[in-house]
Amino acid sequence: MKLKPPPRIVAARWTPALLKLPVLSIRQPYAWAVVHGIKDIENRSWRTHYRGPLLIHASANRNDLNSVVVEDAS
């Protein structure tokens, strides 16, 4: 499998125009793979005819949060 080069990711400032964009919640590490163009198919139980820009929300659950190691800064 030949990997495509990652798309250029530009951090956008929050604007009212972003409120109109649809949001797709995806758990990590899949959200990272979608943003970087590695995972280009997302299977859902519903169909959509929408094609265009969207926001990616990297969701987590309590199990994900419990496994995070926090380093003490002191």
Domain containing 29 equals 21-39+54-61
Examine residue 29 and say whether the peptide bond preceding it is cis (omega within 30 degrees of 0).
Answer: yes
Tell me the pLDDT of the chain (74 aa) as tens digits.
Answer: 676 666 666 666 778 888 888 988 888 888 888 888 888 887 888 888 888 888 888 887 666 666 655 555 55
Residue 44 lies in a domain: no
| Domain assignment of residue 34, yes or no | yes
**β-pair type (23-27, 55-59):** parallel
Please give the tally of structural domains in the chain.
1
What is the pTM assigned to this prediction? 0.58
Task: Tell me if 69 is assigned to some domain.
Answer: no
Task: Please check whether residue 25 lies inside any domain of the structure.
Answer: yes
Residue 47, token pair as written in the block = 């169909």
